[in-house]
Amino acid sequence: MGWRAFRAPLVAALLGVVALSARAQGEPAPYVITFDGAAVIRGRMETASRAHAAVESEVAPELLTRAPGAAMIFAPGLGRNPYFVEQGFLVEAFWGVKTGRPEGRFIFGHFHQEDLSNGFEGQHWGNADELHGVFIRAMDGRPFALRSLRYRVTRNRQNPSRPSSIEGFSNFNVNVLVAPRFDPRLSVRSQFTAFPVGLPLGNDPTLPFTKLVFFGLERVTEVFIASSASVDLDDIALEAEPTAADLERASAPASPGGEAGQAPEGEGDEKR
């Protein structure tokens, strides 16, 4: 047997050692929220249709001043809205109504589709003073960075007759919205950073996704992701300090035909 017979396994082993050494020194590890096969856990027995019907009656605005904390009862992060866990991160739906007003509040949120069997989050416009979205934090509370996501601007697949935008934005310039915190009693514009993503393409689910890269969202402990109109969201890429389990996986011998030190499952995979 010559050098060629030993070269491949030796290179794989060396790559594994380098990857393990880098992560052991604190180099961030990649994680991707793919929405594939998400096991959605409901915060309570509720349906999106009932929640939509209850927008005006969930918490009577006139009672908010007499019920301290009522506006934040369904704030994400408490497990009161539908959520799932992927790669050690909590992904929870949120829904803010009457945004930018004293009576602004969170109500029971939901994903689109509710069970995420479509494999992505299908954001849609509801009303000018509402904001649907997804909330993300690490289950162990460690800080992370938001690196990128894939998006597809639609004409409101759920309500095609209402291809509109929320207050303060134009449907001729749709934006993905990102913030490290969100209080529905304050304006969306004052809290979210807007990333322009162009005009609606249509509602065909076979249309392609486009990658959106983020800069400056470093060492956050939670993030809210939404849109100014109707946008499909997928493959949300994060970076965080590796956990002990990550380091253990990185140090494990490469499987036959595999490669030592490979990225976590889902990283780099292309869908649709």
Domain ranges of the chain: 29-250
Quote the strand ranges of the chain, DSSP E.
Answer: 29-33, 83-86, 89-97, 105-106, 121-122, 130-138, 144-153, 174-179, 193-198, 210-213, 223-227, 231-240
Mean pLDDT of the region 254-266: 47
> In the prediction, which pLDDT does 214 show?
97
Q: Is 264 exposed, middle or buried (0-12, 13-18, 19+ CB in 10 A)?
A: middle
Locus of tokens 């913030």:
179
**pTM as predicted:** 0.76
Average pLDDT, the chain: 80
Q: pLDDT tens digit string along 189-236?
A: 999 999 999 988 888 989 999 999 999 899 999 999 999 999 999 999
Rg (CA), the chain: 21
